[in-house]
Amino acid sequence: MPTSAREKKSKLILDVAIKLFTTKGFDATKMEDVAKMAGISKGLTYFYFKNKEDLYMAVTKKAYDELKSIFREIFKSKGKNGLQMITDLVTAYIDFTQENRMYNAAILNFMGIMQQYNDEVLKEGIDPLILESEHFQKLLEIHHDCGKIGIQMVTLGMRDGSIRPELQAELTFYTIWAMVIGYERLMGPVGYEGKEIKIHLENWKPGFIKLMQDMLKGTIQATKPQVVQASLF
């Protein structure tokens, strides 16, 4: 299906907004900046997106769409068991956060908004322009899509024997996702404090993935230290 002029213009504005949000940040970016870089009038920019908050929510939806495509591609891969899919997903997710920092920031920001949204008191502190955004409403509908695919991967692993069958799929996947988010957030501190905490980024990633695999396979076992009796003389 050929792309309409409206879709092309909307994509142009989104692409420019992503560049500006990445280089200048949300607060420093103005709708006038987006219009100028896109080579269109400010009024036309507002025709497609009501305000900067609406535009940022549109960018956030695009970020989720990109992430979902990664989840779907891995889940559709043939000849792999559930554990291999989860391993590929963790690696791909880490790469995604590093290669698309603005998308990652937008997704994490939305997760923070959802934490407020689910609390009637905290919800009052959300910018009304965000709540009014049609793209925010779309995000409410689709932001669980990635999780649903991830849960299917874990379920597949439990069925094919690559993941412990006694696990609860939903709890397991969201715990993995939380671990990966934490890994990404700690890359900066670990890299900066490398000499102090005796860990290096180049060996942390494979170690992180192996630990996750061992947890899912059930190969991590606590061992009691052997008591050695010996004479001092």
Q: What's this model's pTM, rounded to 2 decimal places? A: 0.87
Measured distance CA(118)–CA(23) in Å, rounded: 31
Residue 164: inside a domain, yes or no?
yes
Q: What is the structure's pLDDT at 194?
A: 55
Measured distance CA(157)–CA(180) in Å, rounded: 19
Residue 69 and residue 10 in one domain: no
Over 90: is that where the pLDDT of 192 sits? no
Residue 64 and residue 103 in one domain: yes
Instruction: Determine the average pLDDT of the residues in 50-59.
Output: 97
Over 90: is that where the pLDDT of 166 sits? yes
Residue 230: inside a domain, yes or no?
no
Please state the φ and ψ torsions of residue 64, each to the nearest 5 degrees: -65, -40
Residue 75 and residue 138 in one domain: yes
Measured distance CA(65)–CA(139) in Å, rounded: 10
Across all residues in the chain, what is the average pLDDT? Answer: 90
For residue 210, what pLDDT band results from cuts at 50, 70 and 90?
very high
First to last CA, the chain: 87
Residue 44 and residue 66 in one domain: no
CATH number of the structural domain spanning residue 186: 1.10.357.10
Residue 64 and residue 117 in one domain: yes
- Show the domain range for 14: 1-49
Residue 54: inside a domain, yes or no?
no
Residue 232: inside a domain, yes or no?
no
For residue 220, what pLDDT band results from cuts at 50, 70 and 90?
low
Number of domains in the chain: 2
